[in-house]
């Protein structure tokens, strides 16, 4: 009698509950292998759940520039900002942090970084903090199928991604409690980087994973904003021009998200070209006289409460700096060993007013507080120009 009852219970568990438990286990195992460390379960937000574009000011805000596939430097930057501990766990408490895009290309550790950021986002939320991640031009390029700057090991890692998920699918299809799983071999071996030299399979795997609606794009990129305003600070990878502000940052974020999720057929035009929100360098010239402070002032004035802009994209060889009387902060320090190998620096904003540059083994550098009513800096600039018809509205 007991054996009959137990057998029925076991059979019911196997047919109803075990497949779900087994699927979660397989996903967790695959993620751990690909991330080469700690992970959290994937979480896909419903299409109607849109992330806000405008958020209120916070007591402490940290901004981190381009990472470009360098996991070691990414860890250092997050530790410099007081965001993670020695075990790479969130240690920022209620701090809000923003990474301004370009996680992909030029470095070998792209997938590791995507998993790293995903996990920190979840841990930050649990601690009462926030980690916002923006998309940059290298994310949009890859989703559009342009892999010009992908390293060979990075290409190979996407082939490994494909093999691991194919193996996982086989395991999930044979998840019964009997011997249905017989014949499924162990996980595939790590793919050597040289595979990309003579095998187009690596590029094909990358294209599949990063295409609009692809597994990597939906999980790691589509939820990220193109622009985000927190208090009086606007974060964007390249820059928000007047035409972008007029078109609407919420509209840009929503349409970009729809394209990456695969529900919008074509890449929005404001993501391509020299004037794109992820490509423009109008505010990033190290020679301040070449910065378009007029367009900057106009764009900020079109966004209620915006006093300053924080951008990445253009490497600042001298490190983090500001232009146009601290109306724009340029924080791409060329951190990745694949493009500059610069020392980590991050930007810190306290109470929406005090702005400081943090760097390793050096005291913080403090910038003056932005005054949204002050206009004198504009007249002092010798290089500013009236906005053209093209920048007055987006067409």
pLDDT digits (tens, 9 = 90+) for 209-246: 999 999 999 999 999 999 999 999 999 999 999 999 99
Does 40 fall in a domain?
no
Please state, for a pLDDT cut of 70, what percent of the chain lies above it: 81
58 with 110, same domain: the answer is yes
Does 47 fall in a domain?
no
162 with 67, same domain: the answer is no
On the question of pLDDT at 317 being above 70, the answer is: yes
64 with 78, same domain: the answer is yes
Determine how many CB atoms are found less than 10 A away from the CB of residue 316: 21
Using N-to-C axis directions, what is the helix angle for 2-16 and 18-35, rounded to 10°? 50
Residue 152 CA, distance from chain mean position? 21
Domain boundary among 165, 188, 210: 210
Q: How does strand 321-323 pair with strand 328-330?
A: antiparallel
Does 185 fall in a domain?
yes
Write the pLDDT tens digit of every residue in 31-75. Answer: 999 999 999 988 765 554 668 999 999 999 999 999 999 999 999
Confidence class for position 184, pLDDT limits 50, 70, 90: low
Give the domain range for residue 256: 54-145+215-392
300 with 244, same domain: the answer is yes
Does 220 fall in a domain?
yes
Compute the mean pLDDT over every residue in the chain, rounded to the nearest whole number: 87
98 with 171, same domain: the answer is no
Mean pLDDT value across residues 322-346: 98
Does 48 fall in a domain?
no
CATH number of the domain at 377, please. 3.60.21.10
Does 46 fall in a domain?
no
Rounded to a whole number of angstroms, the distance between the first and last alpha carbons of the chain is 77
| 99/280 Cα distance (integer angstroms) | 18
169 with 289, same domain: the answer is no
Q: Which of 229-243, 342-356, 376-390 has the lowest mean pLDDT?
A: 376-390
> Active-site residue among 68, 132, 138, 313?
138
On the question of pLDDT at 387 being above 50, the answer is: no
128 with 260, same domain: the answer is yes
Q: Alpha carbon of 375 to those of 41, 293, 301, 339: distances in Å?
A: 49, 11, 11, 37
Does 178 fall in a domain?
yes
Domain boundary among 210, 231, 246: 210
Please give the tally of structural domains in the chain. 2
Does 261 fall in a domain?
yes
| pLDDT for position 187 | 65
Statement: the pTM of the whole predicted model exceeds 0.75: yes
175 with 134, same domain: the answer is no
Tokens of 250: 């919420």
164 with 274, same domain: the answer is no
180 with 276, same domain: the answer is no
Domain boundary among 192, 210, 228: 210
| 255/244 Cα distance (integer angstroms) | 13
Q: What is the CA radius of gyration of the chain?
A: 23
370 with 253, same domain: the answer is yes
The question of whether 138 is a catalytic residue gets the answer yes
194 with 328, same domain: the answer is no
């Amino acid at each position: 009698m007991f054996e009959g009852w137990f057998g029925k219970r076991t059979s019911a568990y196997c047919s109803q509950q075990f497949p779900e438990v087994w699927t979660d286990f397989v996903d967790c195992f695959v993620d751990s292998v690909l991330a080469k460390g700690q992970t959290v379960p994937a979480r896909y937000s419903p299409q109607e759940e849109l992330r806000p574009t405008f958020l209120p000011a916070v007591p402490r805000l940290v901004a981190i520039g381009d990472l470009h596939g360098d996991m070691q430097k990414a860890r250092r930057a997050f530790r410099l900002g007081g965001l993670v501990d020695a075990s790479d766990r969130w240690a920022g408490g209620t701090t809000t942090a923003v990474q301004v895009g370009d996680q992909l290309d030029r470095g070998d550790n792209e997938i590791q970084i995507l998993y790293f950021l995903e996990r920190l986002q979840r841990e930050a939320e649990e601690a009462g903090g926030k980690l916002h991640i923006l998309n940059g031009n290298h994310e949009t390029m890859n989703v559009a199928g342009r892999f010009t700057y992908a390293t060979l090991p990075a290409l190979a890692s996407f082939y490994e991604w494909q093999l691991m998920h194919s193996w996982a699918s086989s395991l999930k299809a044979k998840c019964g409690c009997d011997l249905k799983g017989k014949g499924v071999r162990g996980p595939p071996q790590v793919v050597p980087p040289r595979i990309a030299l003579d095998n187009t399979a690596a590029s094909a795997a990358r294209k599949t994973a990063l295409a609009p609606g692809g597994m990597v794009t939906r999980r790691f990129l589509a939820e990220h904003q193109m622009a985000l305003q927190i208090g009086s600070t606007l974060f964007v990878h390249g820059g928000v021009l007047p035409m972008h502000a007029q078109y609407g940052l919420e509209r840009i974020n929503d349409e970009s998200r729809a394209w990456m999720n695969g529900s919008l057929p074509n890449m929005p035009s404001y993501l391509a070209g020299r004037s794109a929100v992820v490509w423009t360098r109008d505010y990033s010239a190290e020679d301040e006289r070449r910065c378009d402070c007029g367009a900057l002032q106009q764009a900020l004035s079109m966004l209620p409460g915006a006093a300053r802009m924080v951008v990445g994209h253009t490497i600042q060889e001298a490190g983090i700096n500001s232009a146009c009387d601290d109306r724009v902060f340029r924080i791409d320090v060329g951190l990745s060993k694949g493009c500059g190998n610069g020392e980590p620096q991050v930007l810190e904003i306290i109470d929406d007013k005090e702005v400081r540059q943090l760097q390793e083994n050096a005291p913080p550098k403090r910038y003056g507080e932005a005054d949204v009513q002050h206009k004198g800096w504009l007249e002092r600039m010798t290089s500013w120009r009236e906005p053209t018809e093209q920048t007055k509205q987006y067409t």
